[in-house]
Structure 1
Amino acid sequence: MALFDLPLADLETYRPEIDEPDDFDAFWTATLDEARAVGGTPTLERVDTGLTQVVVDDVTFPGFGGHPVKAWLARPANADGPLPAVVEFLGYGGGRGLPHERIGLAAAGYAHFVMDTRGQGSGWGAGGGTPDPVGSGPASPGVMTRGILDPHDHYYRRVFTDGVRAVDAVRAIDGIDASSVSVVGASQGGGISVAVAGLVPDLRAAMPDVPFLTHYRHAVQITDGFPYAEITQYLRVHRSPEVAAQVWRTLSYLDGVSFARRARAAALYSVALMDGTCPPSTVYAAFNAWGATTGEAPAKEIDVYPYNGHEGGEAYRFPRHLAWLGKYAA
């Protein structure tokens, strides 16, 4: 795809007004209080991977509603002392895969917690193992419109809560430095990392790459790429203005721009200027808003890939992540 969004100079100053509900904070405080009130602790079972320098545990922890959520926890073997942790969230349709697939951060000295995404894990990669036991009303294929008529019912209310509970879980595990937890993810994983950074005030670093789940209304207006097009498809079928109003109200509680405004962690973003899946202006809307309501000025940088689509930086991101973690989370 050729360049289609705002010029880079305009992206760097793009700060749109969004429809943030007055009870946004109350909604999320009540959601997280409810999830934590269920209680529960993570359980770990060591996996025989055949690796000698990295150990991996199969983790189950309580997420939204106390529902069991799976994760891998990879750590350097024979680690001495509490380890800083990095919680990773995954891209749309993927699952946590196999235990030996993500060991780079563990090899670099971090505890790497890879959260499965409920109800996904069959679109790409090596699969997932976490169901979503909550039902949905009529929806278009995919997860964007599951529970779209009420923010309490929406799929991403559950997933974002799982993400926060993943941070809670990793902090409760022996051998983890609970004061040094960071989040990372690309695409959907980037969007989840933005949400979690807005909901957990004491993370060290957040590293969202080409993040999804931000500035929804604008995204639907400028791209016909999926998954944002799931929203368009739903509205094309359910044509009444009343339904549209309900849809946009629900999504206003889930917008990455609102979460970014509340984030305090040091943020390293990436954006691809030819990205038709997560348009650059939606990424910059969140990046430019980072920390805006906190009264602070968290460190933040954004790496720009001028000639790339949604693949963004891919493997080029890893050394950048290590450098960022070394500066803010080690």
Structure 2
Amino acid sequence: MPRFDLSPADLRVYRPEVAEPADFDEFWRATLAESRALAEVPRLTRVDAGLVTVEVYDVEFSGFGGDPVGGWFVVPAGAAASAPLPAIVEFNGYGGGRGLPHERLAWASAGYAYFLMDTRGQGSVWGTGGTTPDPHGTGPSTPGFMTRGILDPATYYYRRVFTDAVLAIDAVRSLAQVDVDRVSVSGGSQGGGIAIAAAGLSEGLVGAMPEVPFLCHFERAVGLTDRDPYQEIVRYLSVHRDAAATAFETLSYFDGVNFAARATAPALFSVALMDPVCPPSTVFAARNRWGADAAADAGAPVADIVEYAFNEHEGGAGAHWPRQAAWLAERLAERLAERPGA
């Protein structure tokens, strides 16, 4: 697909004003407090996945409203006898589930504790499936997840998913194999959008690594691309013609640009300049606002970005992981250097 968005030079300085509700922080403070009050200790079950260099655990932790959410926790073999490890919490792309543990071994093979969160209600579009239901009903919606509960932020689908993500970080930090001060988040597409939200709602992360992130700058995205999942919103509003103002007000509580502004950890983004699914301007809108609301004495965290000039939504694909690994190693070294007595 040819380039259809702003020029690369304009993208790098693109910093739009995105609608932000006056009660954004209070909405999320109350949402997280309600679900944290219902959280139970995560349950781990050792799984024989036919792997000898790593240990695999099936995890169930408490998500939104105390709902059980699944995930895979994978650590290097013998991790229980070692010092606590840095951890990666990864979120999945749209429509996919956590799949099978042997499908994602890179981070554990590199010496990290790795947690992959299942996305509630998803897992039946690609990959090898998911196992976490979404027990909450919504009003009328288009097929897919983008318009479920869209007329009220309290019922919107991603309120539950973003809460799951923050509580997944809480759960991982409670595990004996994990160094609580060296936890990072990552994900591609939807997973990148979830990682941005989790970074904006969590304290003390080492880093965030959103790849070609979805769920950013909704109002621009739905008018710029003709691809799903954003087109789910367009189809909904083409039928519910009087609902646009209400729908976009709801979406403002879930816009990655608003979460990005609240982030306190450094970030490594990726963007594909020919991406028709997550247009590059929507990615840069979040990246260019990263940490904008940071305390003046702390300064805004760094937000690096890797541009893939001739790629679509696959972005850097497998070529991007070595960049992430090198970038994260630097952030971990910086965190260790900050410790007393280092």
Task: Please confirm whether the aligned pair reaches a TM-score higher than 0.5, indicating the same fold.
Answer: yes
1:315-330 maps to which residues of 2 (within 5 A)? 315-329=318-332
Asked if 1 retains the 8 angstrom alpha-carbon contact of 2:85 and 2:112, the reply is yes
TM-score (norm 2): 0.95
Following superposition, the deviation at residue 249 of structure 1 comes to 0.6
Once residues 59 and 53 of structure 1 are traced to their aligned partners in structure 2, the CA distance between those partners, rounded to angstroms, is 19
Q: Which residue of 1 aligns with 2:307?
A: 304
Offset from partner CA, 1:211-239 (integer Å, 9 cap, x none) = 00000000011111100000100000001
Aligned AA for 1:297?
A: A
Q: Which residue of 1 aligns with 2:338?
A: none
Asked if 2 retains the 8 angstrom alpha-carbon contact of 1:186 and 1:211, the reply is yes
Aligned to 2:29, what secondary structure does the other structure show?
A: helix
Asked if 1 retains the 8 angstrom alpha-carbon contact of 2:39 and 2:63, the reply is no
Once residues 177 and 7 of structure 2 are traced to their aligned partners in structure 1, the CA distance between those partners, rounded to angstroms, is 47
User: How many equivalent pairs are there?
Assistant: 328
Q: Is 1:219 the counterpart of 2:232 in the alignment?
A: no
Aligned AA for 1:169?
A: A
Aligned to 1:100, what secondary structure does the other structure show?
A: helix
1:92-103 maps to which residues of 2 (within 5 A)? 92-103=94-105
Structure 1 gaps of 5+ residues are none
Aligned to 2:184, what secondary structure does the other structure show?
A: strand
Once residues 328 and 41 of structure 2 are traced to their aligned partners in structure 1, the CA distance between those partners, rounded to angstroms, is 27
Asked if 2 retains the 8 angstrom alpha-carbon contact of 1:181 and 1:203, the reply is yes
Following superposition, the deviation at residue 39 of structure 1 comes to 2.4
Aligned AA for 2:268?
A: L
Aligned AA for 1:299?
A: V
Aligned to 1:45, what secondary structure does the other structure show?
A: strand
Aligned AA for 1:209?
A: E
Q: Is 1:24 the counterpart of 2:24 in the alignment?
A: yes
Return structure 1 stretches of 4+ with deviation > 6 angstroms: none
Asked if 1 retains the 8 angstrom alpha-carbon contact of 2:162 and 2:197, the reply is yes
Q: Is 1:313 the counterpart of 2:316 in the alignment?
A: yes
Aligned AA for 2:313?
A: H
Following superposition, the deviation at residue 244 of structure 1 comes to 1.1
Once residues 150 and 31 of structure 1 are traced to their aligned partners in structure 2, the CA distance between those partners, rounded to angstroms, is 14
Once residues 225 and 104 of structure 1 are traced to their aligned partners in structure 2, the CA distance between those partners, rounded to angstroms, is 30
Aligned AA for 2:117?
A: M
Q: Which residue of 1 aligns with 2:336?
A: none
Aligned to 1:92, what secondary structure does the other structure show?
A: coil
211-220 or 296-305, which moves further after superposition?
296-305
185-194 or 243-252, which moves further after superposition?
243-252
What is the root-mean-square deviation in Å for CA atoms of aligned residues? 0.7
Aligned to 2:102, what secondary structure does the other structure show?
A: coil
Aligned AA for 2:60?
A: T
Structure 2 gaps of 5+ residues are 334-342
Following superposition, the deviation at residue 329 of structure 1 comes to 2.7
Q: Is 1:294 the counterpart of 2:294 in the alignment?
A: yes
Using the aligned pairs only, state the percent identity. 61
Once residues 208 and 329 of structure 1 are traced to their aligned partners in structure 2, the CA distance between those partners, rounded to angstroms, is 17
